[in-house]
Structure 1
Amino acid sequence: MRAALEAFERRHGLALLTQRARLGVLIGYVSLIVLLTFGGLQLLSRNDAGVLAILIRVLPLILFLPAIVTRRPRGHAWLAFVSLLYFMQGVMIATLPNMAWLGLLEVASALLLFTASMLFARWQGRQLKQ
């Protein structure tokens, strides 16, 4: 697997791959925040929880914003691990009767964020070592 990934890096170049991974991180990050806010607003409309429910769901992602803006590989690696929590939450939401679509979208966004963050951390770290 490692040899295949290194051949892929040589074929396409680290700069291009890093740009594409960064785009994936941004798309996954924004879509996950939008989905979490939407899910929190649905809870708010049913009077199940207050505004704190939205804040608790979105705050862990907001804390990684400086790492995303400054393009730090270590911050992206940690963001990938945190995105797995949202993957688990999405799986649990997908089991609810009328919320399967929201859960599946959250799972897809979390997987995109995980994959793109890990690849960005790898490729950006390799670029910084050159």
Structure 2
Amino acid sequence: MSTAIQRYRWLALVSYFALFICVVVWQFATAHSEQSLLFRGLFWVLPLLFPMYGIVKGKPYTHAWANFVLMWYFLHSLTMLYIAPEQRYWAAAELLFATLAFAGCTLYARHQGRALGLGLKKLKDEKTR
């Protein structure tokens, strides 16, 4: 694995786990909500657990589809920045970590996938066969 790919993996791992910790602390330690703890756990923490195993193992495909999960937190943070000024710092941290995790996962999936020979075939290449 090249040093660039290792840096992308490191960025994805660190920012993904920072996002996970940020969400857990925000939802369970500081958020005063009318939602139950079970609901907050299922709604906010569980989606981050789905791709976690593949991200830890360094699977490019998992890094790629984890971006769909990360967009949930990206949109949540933008919404909270707009509607809840009292939670602005938590929302800004969530936005930062979600953005960095998105970039890290995208770059890692792209470059490691190419290094492993994975990828989607171009339609024009398929038609020539």
Q: What's the TM-score bracket when you normalise by the shorter of the two chains?
A: 0.7 to 0.9
Query: What SS is found at the alignment partner of 1:49?
Result: coil
Question: What amino acid sits opposite 1:109 in the alignment?
Answer: F
Does structure 1 residue 114 correspond to structure 2 residue 102?
yes
2:63 paired residue among 56, 76, 79: 76
TM-score (norm 2): 0.82
- Give 1:25's aligned residue: 12
> Conserved in 2, the CA contact under 8 Å of 1:18 and 1:124?
yes
- Give 1:5's aligned residue: none
- Give 1:7's aligned residue: none
Question: What amino acid sits opposite 2:105 in the alignment?
Answer: S
1:100 paired residue among 85, 88, 93: 88
TM-score (norm 1): 0.81
> Conserved in 2, the CA contact under 8 Å of 1:81 and 1:114?
no
Using the alignment, how far apart are the partners of 2:33 and 2:87 within structure 1? 17
Aligned length: 115
- Deviation of 1:56 (Å): 1.8
- Deviation of 1:111 (Å): 0.4
- Give 1:39's aligned residue: 26
RMSD over aligned Cα atoms? 1.6
Using the alignment, how far apart are the partners of 1:69 and 1:32 within structure 2? 14
- Give 1:16's aligned residue: 3
> Conserved in 1, the CA contact under 8 Å of 2:61 and 2:109?
yes
Q: Which has the higher contact order (CA 8 A, sep 6+)?
A: 2
Q: Which residues of structure 1 form unaligned runs of 5+?
A: 1-13
* Cα-to-partner distance string for 1:34-56 (whole Å, 9 max, x where unaligned): 1111221223xx35222221332
Using the alignment, how far apart are the partners of 2:103 and 2:23 within structure 1? 19
Matched residues, percent identical?
Answer: 30
Using the alignment, how far apart are the partners of 2:35 and 2:72 within structure 1? 20
- Give 1:127's aligned residue: 115
- Give 2:37's aligned residue: 51
